[in-house]
Structure 1
Amino acid sequence: MILERTMSDDFLTNTYLIADGPDGSAALIDAGGRLGPLLDTIERERLTLTAILLTHHHGDHVVELDDVLARFPGTPVLIHALERELVPQATGEIVPGEAISVGGLRVDPIHTPGHTAGMVSLLVSDGSEQLLFTGDTLFKGSVGGVRGPGHTTYGDIKTSIMERLLTLPPETPVHPGHTEPTTVGRELEENRFVRIWRGLDPEGSQQCTALGEPATLILLGDDYDGGHKAWVRWPDGSDDIVPGSRVEVSR
């Protein structure tokens, strides 16, 4: 299997190229910037680009779609049905539970709502190894927020991570939508959000103001960009994952 990654300078968004080998079939996962090196690889390795697979509709993951299509016109652009209308270039749908073939690669879409309603993670296998691409659901040491455009709920993202992603074998490589790769096993043991969900670490109880409203700070965790992601609990008992920059701790 061929795997290459580029990362944008501004939003630290990853775009991935997967292929079944030289002279074979390839797909892009997202289209978030600095695609030149990946498009060059497609031509150098004489690959046939069979699809652009989008994890979700946010602008930092689709900003370079037009450039890809200008260089490889007619390439199918696939996204979950809940987000298809949000990406004008989309030509078809990713259906969870229905495998996508990329030459000798099998791509199994997993619906992982939370960060967006139609977020999908993609499990790619060539028969001997498998790679997990998690979009903005799970990062190295962090999790996706549920306050961006098209988000759903804290309960959704927790279920997506704990019941759909981290049930895979611990050695499974995880390639997130931003910054560095990790593994299922590492996130089970080291991700601070996951450790609390597993009952390994206690919840916090410090009072704070989040998004201008009173809340309890359950966890102020590190985020992929060097900032923080906050898990807060509102007075009605509901939970939320919000940007750490929008949380002020009570003194």
Structure 2
Amino acid sequence: MIIERTMSDGFLTNTYLVADGPDGSAVLIDAGGGLEPLLDAIERERLTLTTILLTHHHGDHVQELDRVLERFPGTPVLIHELEQELVPQATGTIVPGEPIPVGGLRIDPLHTPGHTLGMVSLLVSDGHQQALFTGDTLFKGSVGGVRAPGHTTYEDIKSSIMDKLLQFPPDTPIHPGHTDPTTVGAEKEENRFVRIWRGLDPEGSEPCTALGEPATLVLLGDDYDGGHKAWIRWPDGRDDIVPGSKVETQG
């Protein structure tokens, strides 16, 4: 399996080229900035680009779609049906539970809502190895927020991570939608959100103001961009994951 990545400036968004081997079949996963090395690799390795698979509709993950289609016109663009109308270039849908064959690869879509309603993660395998592409659901050391456009709930993203993504073997590579790769095992042991969910670390209880409203700060964790992601609890008991920049503590 060939996996190559580029990361855009600014948003630090990853785009991946995944292929079954030289002279073989390939897909792009997302279409953020800085794609030229991947587009060149398709031609250099004599790959056939069969599909562009989108984890979700946010602009930083689709902003270079037109450029890809100019270079490889007619390439199908697939996204979850719940977000298809949000991406004009989309030509079809990704259906969780229905494998996508790409040459010698098998791609299994997983519905992992939370950051968006139609978020999908992709398990790619070639019969010898497998890798997870998690979009904006799970990052190295962090998790997706549930305040972005089209978001769902805290309960959704927790379930997507704990009940789906982290059920794979510990050595399974994770390729997130932003910045560095990681593994299932590393996130189970080192991700501060996951450690609390597993009962390994205690919840925090510091009063705070979140999005201008009183709340309790359960965790202020590091985020992929050098900032923070905050798990907060509202007075009615609802939990939320919001940008750390939107939280003020009283200390």
1:250, CA displacement in angstroms?
Answer: 1.4
Task: Give the aligned partner of residue 117 of structure 1.
Answer: 117
For the residue of structure 2 that corresponds to 1:166, the secondary structure is helix
1:147, CA displacement in angstroms?
Answer: 0.1
Matches within 5 A, 1:1-251: 1-251=1-251
Pairwise CA RMSD: 0.4
Q: Give 5+ residue unaligned stretches, structure 2.
A: none
Deviations 1:98-155 (A, max 9, x none): 0001111000000000000000000000000000000000000000000000000000
For the residues of structure 1 that align with 2:228 and 2:10, how far apart are their CA atoms? 17
Question: Residue 49 of structure 1 aligns to which amino acid in structure 2?
Answer: L
Question: Residue 102 of structure 1 aligns to which amino acid in structure 2?
Answer: V
For the residue of structure 2 that corresponds to 1:16, the secondary structure is strand
Sequence identity of aligned pairs in percent?
Answer: 83
For the residues of structure 1 that align with 2:10 and 2:216, how far apart are their CA atoms? 32
Question: Residue 95 of structure 1 aligns to which amino acid in structure 2?
Answer: V
For the residues of structure 2 that align with 1:32 and 1:150, how far apart are their CA atoms? 19
Question: Residue 105 of structure 1 aligns to which amino acid in structure 2?
Answer: L
Task: Give the number of aligned pairs.
Answer: 251
Question: Residue 42 of structure 2 aligns to which amino acid in structure 1?
Answer: I
For the residue of structure 2 that corresponds to 1:248, the secondary structure is strand
Question: Residue 205 of structure 2 aligns to which amino acid in structure 1?
Answer: S
With normalisation by structure 1, the TM-score equals 1.00
For the residues of structure 2 that align with 1:66 and 1:87, how far apart are their CA atoms? 11
Question: Residue 28 of structure 1 aligns to which amino acid in structure 2?
Answer: L
Q: Give 5+ residue unaligned stretches, structure 1.
A: none
For the residue of structure 2 that corresponds to 1:69, the secondary structure is helix
